[in-house]
Structure 1
Amino acid sequence: MLTLTQARERAAALDALPPAQMSLREAIGSVLVDPVQAQQDIPHVSTSAMDGWALAADPLPHPDGVRRWSLRSESAVSPATRPAPLRPGEATEVLTGSPVPEGTHAVLRTEHGVADGAELQAISASPDTAPQRNVRHAGAECRARDQLVPAGAVLTPARAGVAAVAGHDHLRVIPRPRVQLLLTGTEVITRGTPAPGQVRDVFGLALPPMLLEMGAGTVESRRLGDDPEELTETLRQLSATGAADLIITSGGTAHSRADALRPALGLLGAELEVDSVDMRPGHPVLLARLPRPERPLYLLGLPGNPLAGFSALTALGVPLLRALRGIDHGSRTPTLPRTAGAQLSGARRGTRLLPVRQGPQGVIPAGHSSSHMMRGLAEADALAIVPEAGLAPGDPVTCLPVPGQQKEDMAWDV
């Protein structure tokens, strides 16, 4: 049986998925294999920051000293129109974002100019005749071949926007894992009030949004009974078709006659990377590697009790997903350093994962923390890692953020 730290490190050490070339839209949320470089200067031409007129350097001579320019007859109808170069003393209409003509000294905004037939006059108080006023210069944001986003970074929507501005349509990334959920248990119902011997499904409801927040690309769910042969055949088909990058199961991870997962994995020749963890709740969690020709298929088996299952997901699922996504090795096992704001009791054996919430003096128990319960997790911000001896108020405590449960001050960076 591995310690919690050993199990998390083993999950975090797995290889990332193979790189793929993806469109910018598809690649959002994925980790970049190559840096994003500018294909050209940004902006690639000098443009106007205002609706108004592009002014040549020398206004027309006039006896009253008022600044005037000869106004060309052309009208600006689209930012895509590039006007001809300006001659001394000329002005021409421009729109915000449109290229300014060669020879532009400044841009006079619309409300600071008076157009009178073929002549343009600037109001006396306008600062817009100063050199390069309201001109966005080519290359002001970056030059061609500048690095805009480093390799290894997550492509956020804003970074995808930068890549688009830089001229990219596709990028090479580590794709987000496709997850297949296999939800077991004939006693599990998906609606209504459970009868004696029945329980409501929590994993099918909560796991998909949690996994998407953790970085999964897609999450498909399939509900199975407790038939070992059905489970074995389903795993065999998933391994053969390559339709998933990760399988997550709920229930059946223990060693009793009613638990089908371990026998099924044995029949398929799977190798156990993690065969239970010395933690409470969630110790029957397992992480297996199913053989297939091109690359391994990993399976994370979550215990069937709600708090045990979600504790196992938090402890092992987070580093596992980050490893498959290609997140930097130093960021695959995120933790939160906190202070105990009350007595945090340990388990009778092994490390305890205790649902906690932030109190005035530090984290305090959220309550209802038995493995079969759900209420404590719903009130928690994180899971505190508590040794057998427990922790006293004021002691430092390491916490694991629970996917989908972080408040602003408990969040972690991706």
Structure 2
Amino acid sequence: MWNSITDGHGAVTARPTWLEARAIAASAGAGAMLPPEPVALDRAVGRRLVDDLVTPIDLPHFASAAMDGWFVVGDGPWRVVTAGATAPAGGQAWPIVTGAPVPDAPEPGLPIAVLRSESGVVEDGLLRSTVAAEPRPDHHIRRPATEAGRGELLIAAGTLLNPAHVALAAATGADELTVQAVPSVALVFTGDEVVTEGVPPTGRVRDSFGVQFPALVRMLGGRVTGAVRVPDHHDETVAALRDSRADVVITTGGTGGSSADHVRAALLALDAHLLVDGVAMRPGGPTRIARLPDGRLVVALPGNPLAAMVAAITLVEPLLAGLAGREPVPTRVVRGTDVEGRAGTTVLAPYTDVGGRAVVAAWRGAAMLRGLAGATGLLVVPHEGEPLSLPLPWPISTGSPVEI
């Protein structure tokens, strides 16, 4: 059920639950989904593959030596000859290096192999093996299609590409891969009280957004293309929103209802459509999601650090996922927690796993980051129903999975 609230102008607006706001964010992104794009292999790592990669050739596509040594035909000892266009005759050998093509046997049924450099010795032009078990037929020869045959699926669509994936793609002859788009994000940081270095004096606060949001946005599936800081001033806030060139604009601060908060009014001045005008969640209730007339999406986050982080992790991520054409990070039901929701409000809190139980951090006030810094995940506790868990977008170095 949606909650009714009154805005600063006396109009009654609907405030969705956290689950509803998350669904709206995902839908807004999906409605403006960006097209996939082809990228060169060296830019594909960390991107999500759109189409299955099927190899058009055998891997390997020709027989080759797996070791430096000699290509030998038949039984030894072997007379060493100069490599030519055709295989040596039985009882002959030629020097070979790793990766060099290996010819077919000169006669059907005649064994061929590669004898390793360290397993042979040449005296008076005659090669002898120094290891009794070497070589066996086909020893140290890489045969075609031993890794994959032509037409075989190598990388499934939807895979998050790693360096080994792109190297494998290169082996098939690919020069580029089609990957999901990465939405561009512009950051707008508001606030007269913010300082960007050193210890802030009384009445001022240290910037906690500029140092982390570029990395956070990347972890959530976007790429930051610009960032500006604006004072608590209506016209400058309007200009920053108007002039930010990106698929998504994320603002921090200025979402409340005081005389110093201008983001909502700036959005309305730009004829933005408010998709989410506050959320029934704590912390992060003043979060807003809007669409500007030119199609850009805006996520306005609160100014308190934990509130902004919680809102970004839980609401920005599904919006970016929709734009990229992927599914949002799924929630999971959590067992083993005594935290209760509040009437009409979803409580979000960083937690750690202790013996299979979700223990909420002691430091979970809207302005506190200490609890989140050491958390296992985010606990989502609706006013009714089962608690849920969302993973954090960064690796967790301690703790074990919560019992689910």
- The answer for the alignment partner of 1:404 in structure 2 is 394
Match status 1:277 vs 2:279: yes
For residue 314 of structure 1, report the CA deviation from its aligned partner.
1.4
- The answer for the alignment partner of 2:4 in structure 1 is none
- The answer for the alignment partner of 2:172 in structure 1 is 166
Match status 1:366 vs 2:383: no
- The answer for the alignment partner of 1:11 in structure 2 is 25
TM-score, with normalisation over the residues of structure 2? 0.87
Match status 1:22 vs 2:39: yes
Instruction: Supply the distance in 1 between the matched residues of 2:173 and 2:308 (Cα, whole angstroms).
Output: 45
Match status 1:97 vs 2:99: yes
Match status 1:71 vs 2:71: no
Mean alpha-carbon deviation: is it higher for 354-363 or for 151-160? 151-160
Instruction: Supply the distance in 2 between the matched residues of 1:5 and 1:198 (Cα, whole angstroms).
Output: 34
Match status 1:250 vs 2:252: yes
Match status 1:387 vs 2:382: yes
For residue 204 of structure 1, report the CA deviation from its aligned partner.
1.0
Instruction: Supply the distance in 2 between the matched residues of 1:286 and 1:17 (Cα, whole angstroms).
Output: 22
* Structure 1 pair 265–91 and aligned structure 2 pair: CA distance change class (3 A): same
Mean alpha-carbon deviation: is it higher for 10-19 or for 45-54? 10-19
* Structure 1 pair 406–220 and aligned structure 2 pair: CA distance change class (3 A): farther
Instruction: Report if the CA contact (8 A) 1:33-1:152 is conserved.
Output: yes
Instruction: Supply the distance in 2 between the matched residues of 1:399 and 1:126 (Cα, whole angstroms).
Output: 58
- The answer for the alignment partner of 2:52 in structure 1 is 35
For residue 88 of structure 1, report the CA deviation from its aligned partner.
2.4
Q: How does 1:7-406 map to 2 (within 5 A)?
A: 7-13=21-27, 14-15=29-30, 16-56=33-73, 58-59=74-75, 67-74=76-83, 84-103=86-105, 105-123=112-130, 125-128=132-135, 130-238=136-244, 243-292=245-294, 296-327=295-326, 329=327, 332-340=328-336, 343-347=338-342, 349-388=344-383, 397-404=387-394, 406=396
Instruction: Supply the distance in 1 between the matched residues of 2:371 and 2:395 (Cα, whole angstroms).
Output: 12
Instruction: Report if the CA contact (8 A) 1:354-1:383 is conserved.
Output: yes
For residue 144 of structure 1, report the CA deviation from its aligned partner.
2.8
RMSD: 2.4
Instruction: Report if the CA contact (8 A) 2:353-2:401 is conserved.
Output: no
Identity percentage over the alignment? 37
Mean alpha-carbon deviation: is it higher for 182-191 or for 112-121? 112-121
- Paired positions, count: 380
Instruction: Supply the distance in 2 between the matched residues of 1:377 and 1:18 (Cα, whole angstroms).
Output: 34
| Runs of at least 5 residues in structure 1 that lack an aligned partner in the other structure | 60-66, 75-81, 391-395
Which residue type is aligned with residue 236 of structure 1? R
Mean alpha-carbon deviation: is it higher for 263-272 or for 84-93? 84-93
User: Helix, strand or coil: the match of 1:203?
Assistant: coil
